[in-house]
Amino acid sequence: MATLVVPNISEGRDRETIGNSVNSVESEGMSVLDVHSDVHHNRTVLTLSGPAACVPGAMVALARSLDHVDLRRHDGVHPRMGRLDVCPVVSMRPTATSTSAAVELARATGRAIAAPCDLPVYFYGDAAVRPGTRSLAAIRRGGLKTLKVRATDELPPDIGPPRVDLSRGVVCVGARRPMIAFNVWLEGGAAAARRIASRVRTTNGGPIGVLALGWELPNTPHSQVSMNLIEPDRTGIGDAFDAVAREALAEDVAIAGTEVVGMVPERLIPSPAAEVSQLFMTPVRSLDEALRRLDETVD
């Protein structure tokens, strides 16, 4: 079974940089299933598939393709800590063997990146080597400038140089099960979006497995509730939408649209008749279908 990797890079506007990043991973033997760039987040999510042996080299090539990106000049609503911001290896099967393989590959990838790219590496998710870095939120707390200080004391990088350069940042390499990045666009400002996001988080009594942030989308009349559904078999796209819709109604805020970032396992795509599906701004792409087409191409 091919390995699935979903690196996120801190560039969502410069088409040349994004194109060079795509070329860099393809040159190392990975197939690009999907490219999702967001100008408001200034971020691109790549969905990649390929042999496990190709992943470390492809991530090194991807990091090097971003050498010219200066995070001190980066602007975008999404939190970020590095040029190659996060690099999760996805464990597609709910088995200990699958998880173990993803963890091993994530740690090998982090080791491959650290020295030649001279970048601090933090391992997160199932690949974390200490409790304090299991969640990305714990690493991101306070932002990159704060991490530069924390790296010298309470939160040193797991591998790589011990100091954080603000122009280059760090790389977070992890292993995880499939998740869904799901955004709900709202009519109105950021204050309501932040309140809604707070109330739908699992930690505040919201549905199981929901991480959420709310922010304004600059130069638009919209704000956004941006969610990661980390247990999508328990709380799917429709459930998360319903939770946001209830809170939006209480706030007297209209929903302008919805979107999924990246790809979704086929079984988790809502019915076309569902309310959330009527509001999708772009079609939801099936991961299973993309993998089937890739297999047909290889055969």
Kindly report, residue by residue over 47-104, the tens digit of the pLDDT.
999 999 999 999 999 999 999 999 999 999 999 999 999 999 999 887 889 999 999 9
For the chain, give every domain's residue range: 3-176, 180-292
- The residue count for the chain: 299
| CA–CA separation, 158 and 151 (whole Å) | 10
Could you name the CATH architecture of 3-176?
2-Layer Sandwich (3.30)
pLDDT of residue 298: 64
How confident is the model over 79-93, as pLDDT tens digits? 999 999 999 999 988
- Helix/strand/coil for 106: helix
Q: State yes or no: pLDDT of 1 exceeds 70.
A: no
pLDDT(110) > 70: yes
Q: Do domains 3-176 and 180-292 have the same CATH topology?
A: no
User: Domain 180-292 carries which CATH code?
Assistant: 3.30.70.670
Average pLDDT, the chain: 96
Is the confidence at residue 46, as pLDDT, over 90?
A: yes
CA distance 272 to 214: 26
Q: pLDDT, tens digit, for every residue of 135-158?
A: 999 999 999 999 999 999 999 999
78 belongs to the catalytic site: yes
pLDDT on residue 94: 78
pLDDT at 280 over 90: yes
Return d(Cα 28, Cα 127) in angstroms, integer.
23
Chain-centroid distance of CA 15 in Å reads: 19
Q: Which of 41, 68, 78, 222 is catalytic?
A: 78
Residues 6+ apart with CB under 8 A from 294: 2, 31, 33, 49
